[in-house]
Structures are given as C-alpha cells and as structure tokens.
Amino acid sequence: MIRINNLTKKYSGTTVLDIPSLEIKKGESFGLVGNNGAGKTTMFRCILDLIRPNSGSVESKDEKVSGSEDWKIYTGSYLDDGFLIDFLTPEEYFKFVADVYGLQDGDLEQFYKDFGEFFNNEILGKKKLIREMSSGNRQKIGIAAALLPKPEILVLDEPFNSLDPSTQIRLKNLLKKLKSEEQMTMLISSHDLNHVTEVCERIVILHEGKIVQDKITGKETLKELEEYFAVNN
Amino acid sequence: MIKWLILHQWKSGIRSTIRQKNLILNLIIGFFIFIMVAYLLLLGLLINRIMQEVYPGQDHVRIFNGFLLYYFTVDLFLRFLMQNLPKINIESYLHLPIKKKLIVHYIVNRTSIAIFNFLPLLIFIPVSGKIVGAQMGPAAAWTWILGMLFMIFANNYLGTYLKRQLASKPLIVGITGAFILMLIVLDILKVFSFSTVSAAMFSYLLNYKYLLVIPFLWMIITYRLHYNYLKKKLYPEEINIRKNRKIDNISDIRYLKSLGTTGSIIALDMRLFWRNKRTRTMIFMLPLFLLYGLFFYPNPVYKDMAGFLIFVGIFMSGGMMLNYLNYVFAYESNYFDALMTKNIDPAKYIRTKFLVGIMISVICFILTIPYLYFGVKIFFINAMTFLYNIGILSIILLYMATYNKQRMELSRGSAFNYQGIGVSNWLAMIPAFMMPVIIYWPFSAAGYPDTGIMFIGVLGLIGLSFNRYLLSFVYKNFEQRKYKMAEGFRQK
C-alpha cells in the first residue's frame, strides 16, 4: 500500500530522517514510536507530501505521492491543529470536508450518528468555533474529520494526546474495529506504549531518523519496548 | 519586578521569528519612518518662517492654538485606528505572586512607548520655542509645551482605552469619524467655529498658567480610566476574546452549494474574512479605496493628468483585490496542511481564488460607476483599468502570492498590522500599480493618449481570454512552492 524508498530529509545539514526502505501492506496497522525529535512527524509529513524530501520517494498504491493528487481521495489524516480550520464551527468544518470528498448530506448524518459516542455530546450543537474549544475536543474533531470520508489509509500523529481517558478507550476500540471490519491501513504514532501495542500489529521504533527496530506485536512487545526506552533516552 | 516585565517584553520583541525573518520589510518601514521624522524635523525647524509666509502679520500663537483641538480630535481617531495595543501575555504572569496592580500599571504605561506620542513633539517643541516663546516669553513656552505633553499622553491613554473597549464595534467608530468630519465641514462653512473655541481655550491657558492643572488632571483621569477598566478585566479571556458571539450564517447561500468544491472554497473564504479580526478590518477599509477618486476628480488640476488618473483607476477597482490575492494563500496559513491533504484539486483551488479576486474587482468597479458624474473620460479610464485589473493584475498577484510563505495571525486586527507580510507582497505592489502607467506613457508621448488607455484595457481582455493558459503557470509555480509555503506557514 505504502512504500518508502531511500527517503532522507535534512535540515541545515543534520539528517532528521533516513529510511532506506519500508513497506506497509494493505490492512496493516502500523505503529510508530520514538522519543521527541526522532522524526515521526517528519516521516508522516513526507507520506502526506507536506514536505519535500532531500532524496527518495514515498509511493502510495504504486504511485508517487508527490506530483499526484489521487492518494488524497483514499487517505485520511490528522497530524496537528494545522489540519483544522479554526474559525469554523465543527459542523461547518465537517460539512466542508464532506463537500470536498463529494459526500451527500445523508453520509454526514450517518457519520454524526456513528461518532455520537466518540463526541460524547461535547462537539456538535455547541455553537462554538473550533478555536474556542479545548485541545482535547479539537483533537476529537480532527480525528473524526480524518475518518469522515471512510479512507483506506489513516494517518494519525499522536492521536491519544490530550484526550480524556474515556475517549482514549473509545478511540482504541474504534481503531480496532476499523481494522477488523474495514481492513483500514493505519499509520499511528504515539508516545503511549500501552495504547500503541494494543492497537498496532506492527511496531517500528525510530531513533534519530533511522528505523532501529521493526517487529510484529506479540505478548512480550510492551515489555521489550519499555526496556528499550528505559535504556535509550 | 518591573525590570523582568520590561526584559521579557524586549526579548519577545527581538526574538520574534517574524522580526528576524523580515529584515527587508523592517528596512523599508524604517526608511519610511526616517523620511517622516526628517520631514517633521525640517518642518519644525522652519516653522516660524512657514507661518510668516502663510499668515503674514497675524497672531501666530492664536492660529496655532486654533488648530489644536482639531489636531487632538483627529489624533485620537487615528490612534484608535492605527495604534497597536502592546501585546502582553498576561497568562504567564497571573499565576505568579505578582501584584495585579503592578501588571496593570505596566500594561497601561507600555502604551506610552508609541511613535504617536513622540512624532508630534518634533513640531510642538519648535513651536513652543520659536512661536509661543518668541511672542510671549519663556514661561509661556514652558506652560504651552507641558500642556501639549499632558494632552498627548491623555490622548494616548484614552485612545488605547477606547480601542480596547470599542474595537469590536465598527459602527460607533464610523459614527465618530463622521462626527469629526461634520465638525470640520461646519467650520469651513463658518456655521460653528471649532477653531475659535480651540484658540480661546489655549489662550486662557497661556494667560492663566495655573490652568495647566486642567490638562494634567485630564491626563490622570484618562490614565485611571484605562487602568480601572483593565483592573476589572484582568482575566485572559476577558482581555483578549469577546464572549458569547453568535455564529453567523453568512455564506449559507444556496447558489454556493450548487457549485460543489468551488462553492465550498468560496464559502470558506467568506467565513474566513468575516470571522477574523484582521480580515474584517480590511472589509471596513473598502470605502477608503472606493472614495479615493473623490480626492482627485473634483480638482481640475488632475483633469489632464491621465497617467495619474490611470493610477487612481487601478487603485480603486484593484486595491481590494490586491489585498485579497496578494495574501491569498497566507490567509489560509493556519490550515494550509489540511487543504493540501484533503481531496482538493490544486488547479481548481487556484482557479477559485482567481474567480473570487475577479468578483471583488467587479464589485469595486460597479460601485465606482457613479464617478461618471465627473465625466465620460474618467469612466473610460476606470473601465479600461478595471479590465487590466481582472485580466493581468489578478494573475500577477496570484503568481506572486506563492512567494509569500509567512504565517499570518488573523485574530489580531489593526490597520497597520505588518505581521505576516513578506517581501514579495511589497514587490508585487510595484508592477501592480506602475505597469499600466508605464504602458500608457509612450502612447501619450506619441500623441495618442486615448489609444494608450484603450490598449491597457485590451491587454486586460487578452489576459482574460487566455486565463486558463496563464493560470497554468501559477499552478506549476504553486506545485513547486507548496512545500516551502507549508513549511513557512507552520512556523508560529
């Protein structure tokens, strides 16, 4: 589904990302962990064609993401606040997203129904602009908007951050369901080792822009990760 | 404690990413300030001679005093429009054991360091010495300049206070502006002489020097007014944001919905402009662009200066479009990443922006049609420059806009807000306004001025008919530059 070849990104001489080769298969749930500055967000931005790598390329469905727009149709993403349009109300924002993906009003109603529990009555009908909402609620809006067009690929950067415990659990269940029922390909970065091992079947550790470990999640994975990060800090 | 506040303010100034990146812009602004100071200085040094020339044999002190009330009224109005409120992040201090009083005193006093308070002194100080002092002696000169200082600072505290309170009520500002205009008109028509009142007031001050206590008290009162207001409002949310705003349903237009993605992008733009402070200030500046012609058309001197009238035409139907197109991507810097990752065809996106730009110009042109009153020629010039604006200028501006990669903070509004303005924006303005005039000159020199004006319009029509082709260059450039733009927009 997604293939990375010889990808490097440098900022003023320092290499912040260097991935010779990486392939993410269809339906795979891919977890990315690493300390601050490891290059997680940079990698996601390369995948979403938001930064131009110094070398190499990212392919989505065998087509390079730079120079193509096709991947946008089947990719949902939320990296940070910059993905939200802060002067809109949540409803206006969802309507906008639905429009650009050519969805009908019926789809949107269904979406509101599906996400009713996830929103927990804190998002819809509040007559508040997104910029006036708490960071947790903004995070919910961003994640929901990424899922609104029912994408085949989902890219989320630290989705559990600033969510309340109930929503964290709901999000985990939602992601698991999307994986098992829709075979959605998911790329999720997280600082929370518990969550990421629970949701993702494959974990990659990034350190100073390089992949240092790439493993299939098993019973021991959480322990191994904790040991790794206890030593390498 | 004050020491720390000042130090932090200073550091936030010099470490601001905007300031560091924008060296050339700073140089340009610095240059303008330098020119202004130089002019005022010269004017101040020559003030007595100028007064002698313009009003020979009259009581200069009286004439000058006659201006003062006007000056302070207009000054108050200009401060309201232009003076920036110092931005202090009070949240970082409120939770520390610092007395609230101190913070408030600091915020109020911080407004004193504004160029508005110092520029007039370049004139007032020479006037106090060379005119008041020369005529009435040093004691009068001292009284006068002290009075001026009190009045200037009173205006400072009052203006910033009003700005804090009324910035969100443009109607009141408009009415006040109209009221001042009316006073000036009444004075010109000699119905009511505001200047006589002004002259009398300040003559009293010079004759009875103890009256100096009045402007002094006025300054203290305005200071307390500002201080008390802030003291009551010293909560971040009350000081910064207006609460309980109703969500408007602007742009819920049926027609837009029928346009699909194009309609969504336009609706988004309309909301962007209406819901952010800075862009809303711009909408209120629209009349300024449209009324521009009124400064020149009634004056017969400009009747035959077609080159100049072309400039006026470009400015009236293109000024607002320039404001829009020149920053068209930067306005969306807050969520540029979203636009780039969602299913929006960039070519269509750019085309929509182009269409909105043209629509703005069309509206401006229609609103300036009444200038037909000043003659067919003026209408002809305006129509031709309008065609140029929508056919050529629009594309140039859109092309230049891709070079502007600075994040723009839209929530801070003010007429003189340079935040997020890149060098490319300044460069764009030169061809924007000068090119048609340059095109016109050879025709005019060869004796075919009307053909020259028509040629400007024809150029516009050509540009308009090939707009798809021309926009493809903008698109290619956009695709090249989008990474740089996205990166720049992410930098807060």
Is the Cβ–Cβ distance between B324 and B357 less than 8 Å? yes
d(CA B320, CA B286): 7
What is the phi/psi pair of residue B113, to 5°? -85, 75
Q: Report yes or no: A114 at the B interface, CB cutoff 8 Å.
A: no
Q: Which A residues 165-224 touch B at CB under 8 Å?
A: none
Query: What band does B200 get if pLDDT is binned at 50, 70 and 90?
Result: confident
Is the Cβ–Cβ distance between A116 and A172 less than 8 Å? no
Q: Which two tokens stand for residue B207?
A: 């004759």
The per-residue DSSP string of chain A comes to -EEEEEEEEEETTEEEEEEEEEEE-TT-EEEEE--TTSSHHHHHHHHTTSS--SEEEEEETTEESTT--THHHHEEEE-SGGGS-TTS-HHHHHHHHHHHTT--HHHHHHHHHHTHHHHTTSSTT----GGGS-HHHHHHHHHHHHHTT--SEEEEESTTTT--HHHHHHHHHHHHHHHHHH--EEEEE-S-HHHHHHH-SEEEEEETTEEEEEEE--TTHHHHHHHHHHH--
Res. B92: pLDDT tops 80? no
Interface pTM (ipTM) of the complex?
A: 0.77
Is the Cβ–Cβ distance between B390 and B471 less than 8 Å? no
pLDDT computed for residue A163 by the predictor: 92
**In whole angstroms, what separates CA A140 from the centre of its chain?**
12
d(CA B181, CA B424): 36
Res. B475: pLDDT tops 90? yes
- B92 or B367: which leads in pLDDT: B367
Q: What is the average per-residue pLDDT within A86-95? A: 88
Q: Percent of chain B having pLDDT more than 90?
A: 20
Residue B334 gets which letter from DSSP?
G
CB-based contact A69 B483, cutoff 8 Å: no
Q: Report yes or no: B247 at the A interface, CB cutoff 8 Å.
A: yes
Is the Cβ–Cβ distance between A171 and A143 less than 8 Å? yes
- B416 or B318: which leads in pLDDT: B318
d(CA A63, CA A74): 13
Domain ranges (residues) in chain A: 2-84+152-231
pLDDT computed for residue A101 by the predictor: 86
β-strands A75-78, A153-157 pairing = parallel
> Across chain B, what does the average pLDDT equal?
82
Containing H/E element for B120? none
- B173 or B269: which leads in pLDDT: B269
> Which residue's structure tokens are 């989705």?
A159
Is the Cβ–Cβ distance between B386 and B313 less than 8 Å? yes
Distance from CA of A72 to the nearest CA of B (A): 5
Q: Percent of chain B having pLDDT more than 70?
A: 85
- Residues 6 or more apart whose CB falls under 8 angstroms from that of B271 comprise A87, A88, A92, B250, B251
What is the phi/psi pair of residue A151, to 5°? -75, 165
Q: What is the average per-residue pLDDT within B114-125? A: 86
Question: Could you read off the pLDDT of A71-82 as tens digits, one per residue?
Answer: 888 999 999 888
Q: Report yes or no: A48 at the B interface, CB cutoff 8 Å.
A: yes
* Residues in chain A within 8 Å Cβ distance of B410: 87
Structural domain A2-84+152-231, CATH architecture? 3-Layer(aba) Sandwich (3.40)
pLDDT computed for residue B241 by the predictor: 44
Best mutation target, B246, B259, B335, to test chain A (most A CBs within 10 A): B335
Question: Could you read off the pLDDT of B383-442 as tens digits, one per residue?
Answer: 999 999 999 999 999 998 888 888 887 766 545 555 666 555 666 677 677 888 888 989
Q: Which of B385, B386, B474, B359 is nearest to B437 (CA)?
A: B385
Burial B387-418 (b: 16+ CB within 10 A, else e): bbbbbbbbbbbbbbbbbbbbbbbbebbbbebe
Q: Which two tokens stand for residue B492?
A: 């807060």
Query: What band does B64 get if pLDDT is binned at 50, 70 and 90?
Result: confident
Question: Could you read off the pLDDT of B321-357 as tens digits, one per residue?
Answer: 988 998 899 899 889 998 888 888 899 999 999 999 9
Q: Report yes or no: A70 at the B interface, CB cutoff 8 Å.
A: no
pLDDT computed for residue A42 by the predictor: 92
Question: Could you read off the pLDDT of A182-216 as tens digits, one per residue?
Answer: 899 999 999 889 999 999 999 999 999 999 989 89
Res. B226: pLDDT tops 70? yes
| Nearest by CB: A72 against B261, B267, B341 | B341
Q: Report yes or no: B272 at the A interface, CB cutoff 8 Å.
A: yes
CB-based contact A75 B341, cutoff 8 Å: yes
- B99 or B91: which leads in pLDDT: B99
CB-based contact A72 B344, cutoff 8 Å: yes
Res. B256: pLDDT tops 80? no
Q: Report yes or no: B310 at the A interface, CB cutoff 8 Å.
A: no
Cα dihedral across residues B309, B310, B315, B317: positive or negative: positive
pLDDT computed for residue B243 by the predictor: 42
pLDDT computed for residue A140 by the predictor: 93
Query: What band does B244 get if pLDDT is binned at 50, 70 and 90?
Result: very low
Which of A51-55, A217-221, B216-220, B239-243 shows the lowest mean pLDDT across its residues? Answer: B239-243
Query: What band does A29 get if pLDDT is binned at 50, 70 and 90?
Result: very high
B57 half-sphere exposure, CB direction, 13 A CA radius = 0
Q: Report yes or no: A69 at the B interface, CB cutoff 8 Å.
A: yes
Res. A92: pLDDT tops 80? yes
Which of A127-141, B193-207, B239-253, B271-285 shows the lowest mean pLDDT across its residues? Answer: B239-253
d(CA B106, CA B113): 11
Closest B-chain CA to A101: B343
pLDDT computed for residue A199 by the predictor: 92
Distance from CA of A223 to the nearest CA of B (A): 36
Question: Could you read off the pLDDT of B126-162 as tens digits, one per residue?
Answer: 888 888 888 888 888 899 899 999 999 999 998 888 8
Query: What band does B242 get if pLDDT is binned at 50, 70 and 90?
Result: very low
* Residues in chain A within 8 Å Cβ distance of B340: 48-50
CB-based contact A72 B247, cutoff 8 Å: no
Query: What band does B14 get if pLDDT is binned at 50, 70 and 90?
Result: low
| Nearest by CB: A89 against B247, B334, B487 | B247
Best mutation target, B259, B261, B262, B337, to test chain A (most A CBs within 10 A): B337
The size of the A-B interface in CB pairs under 8 A is: 81
